[in-house]
Amino acid sequence: MLNDDEFATHRQELRRGTVVLACLLMLATPNYGYALLTALEKAGFGVDANTLYPLLRRLEKQGLVTSEWNTDEARPRKFYRTTSEGAALAAALTTDWNKLGAAFQTLMENS
């Protein structure tokens, strides 16, 4: 019997790539770490803060998003925005996602 940890690991692995795609799509409008976290949650993409914050850095390093410190408000915040490269990746990933969805649909209809 699958224990809770193993169950959680399988779910986590299935979700892993979807967070990247969701971030790239959402950051078409510039946003900062915590606001993005809550927006993702509200949209139904459950992600942990300790995964999201380092992920944003990684995406930035790969040139998929850019960042800018916004010091207009009392609390300076780092805003991220999807680059054209990031948008291209998001488009490719969306196509893959749709194909996978269709494939699962067919699979479940036939079984």
Partner 1 sequence: MTTTASTLTDRYVAEALRGVPARQRTDIEAELRTSIEDAIEDRLGAGADAPTAEHDVLAELGAPRRLGARYSERPTYLIGPELYLDYTRVLSVLLSTVVPIWFLFSGVVNFVTGSSALDTLGGALYGALETAMSLAFFTTLVFAVIERTRRSKRSAVWNPASLPEVLDKRNYFTELIGGVVFTLLIAGALVGAQTIAGVEAADGSRMGPIATGLWQSGAFYIALFYAFVSISFHVFSYYTGWSVSNAIATVILDVLFAVPVVWLAASGRLLNADYFDAIEWPAGVGVVNSIVIAIVLLFAAMDSIDGIVRATKNRRTR
* Residue 101 Cβ vs partner 1, minimum distance, rounded to whole Å: 29
How far is Cα 52 from Cα 47, in angstroms, rounded to an integer? 7
How far is Cα 68 from Cα 80, in angstroms, rounded to an integer? 7
- Can you tell me whether residue 81 is helix, strand or coil? strand
Taking the least distance from each CB to partner 1, the nearer of 72 and 75 is 75
Which residues of the chain form contacts with partner 1 (CB under 8 A)?
32-35, 37-38, 48-51, 53-54, 57-58, 69, 75-78
Taking the least distance from each CB to partner 1, the nearer of 81 and 87 is 81
Taking the least distance from each CB to partner 1, the nearer of 38 and 105 is 38
* Residue 107 Cβ vs partner 1, minimum distance, rounded to whole Å: 32
* Residue 92 Cβ vs partner 1, minimum distance, rounded to whole Å: 21
CB 67 within 8 A of CB 78: yes
Lookup result for tokens 């805003």: 79
Going by the DSSP 8-state scheme, the letter that residue 62 receives in this structure is T
Taking the least distance from each CB to partner 1, the nearer of 44 and 61 is 61
CA atoms within 13 A on the CB side of 89: 20
* Residue 16 Cβ vs partner 1, minimum distance, rounded to whole Å: 13
